[in-house]
Chains A and B, each alone.
Chain A
């Protein structure tokens, strides 16, 4: 069992902050040990300190990527917390259906999509509740910094435990096909989504459109205040002036971020540009 030295842990924290803006608290050494053990076994004979040192050298791009992905938090599940469905069904889509009725376009971005459950939840919601959108040009973009998370998201294939978490049985029956012990979301839904590799703290693709709805849920809470505000300002520039930003259920926003609550005096994590 390898223990992480203080120096190595500081190097790891600096690396994660630089690569994905993940602000790792000082008391998470045990977490780093648990998450890096396998990688250390593969690359440095189980020595996590050596792994961190190797990954932090300039020439070790691939290993650095593997290390960062191993440390990333990919927690997600279908229809995570009721605000997702409620905000789409009660407010955002009904309002945008009215406002965009002339050009019939709708653009939605899941900006930290992890393994895809969030954007597939949105695609299922739109398909089930807003059949009129079938005649619209609906753009669904899902992005993440992690190539391994994106690969799984693109495949849309989930195991029993993932299927049991948050997915209504009706949706399971309607939108998924069994593939052995796994379940795969049907091609017709999968094809509606464009998956892209985007690291929120690096350059964003120039062709990224302006969005009517941005989902940035349960990601900013891992960022430092500076990175958080920097990303939020860029999200603000990428959101149309009457668009929406949806955060995680327990997240809130600073006033300087450029967004105000979509429903005045509400504490729901659901905002519009100032």
Chain B
């Protein structure tokens, strides 16, 4: 079975719970972090690389953009897809995240279907495939 481990990074415990629940329903194993620095520590200490990280934008200590930049500077993390999940909906921020190395961008609030759709676009979840 393919690795379907997702790292959920958000300073809101409620949002981590919501995202974890949705991802578990899609078959993912979950680990969580409350900010970018904690997420980096989890990556460095982990045995396997998560398939996917869901990254909030505004977080204390190390924000989402800084985390994306840090991850993309290390080739050993290249296999991990990065989905920004944020209430920041400015085009300039979207461009900034994509330029830094994010694979996709999901704006809050979102539906479970929208999350599944994004994962499909990232090659992680297939639906309606002929």
Contacts and interface: CB of A to CB of B under 8 A. Distances in A.
Interface string B9-30: 0000000000000000000000
Interface string B102-120: 1011110111011001101
Interface stretch (B33-41, B56-64, B87-95): B87-95
Interface residues of A, number: 25
A81 B129 contact: yes
Contacts, number: 62
A179 B121 CA distance: 25
A81 B125 CA distance: 11
Contact of A172 (B105, B110, B117, B127): B105
Contact count band on B: 20 to 34
B121 A160 contact: no
B130 A170 contact: no
Interface stretch (A33-41, A106-114, A161-169, A200-208): A161-169
A173 interface: yes
Contact of A173 (B91, B126, B129): B91
A172 to B, nearest CB: 6
Given A164-B111, A164-B114, A164-B118, A172 B130 contact: no
Given A173-B98, A178-B89, A81 B114 contact: no
B47 interface: no
Contact of A80 (B90, B106, B109, B128): B128
A268 interface: yes
Contacts of B90: 178
A266 to B, nearest CB: 9
What are the 7 A-B residue pairs with the smallest beta carbon separation, nearest first?
A169-B105, A164-B114, A81-B128, A249-B130, A249-B128, A173-B94, A165-B117
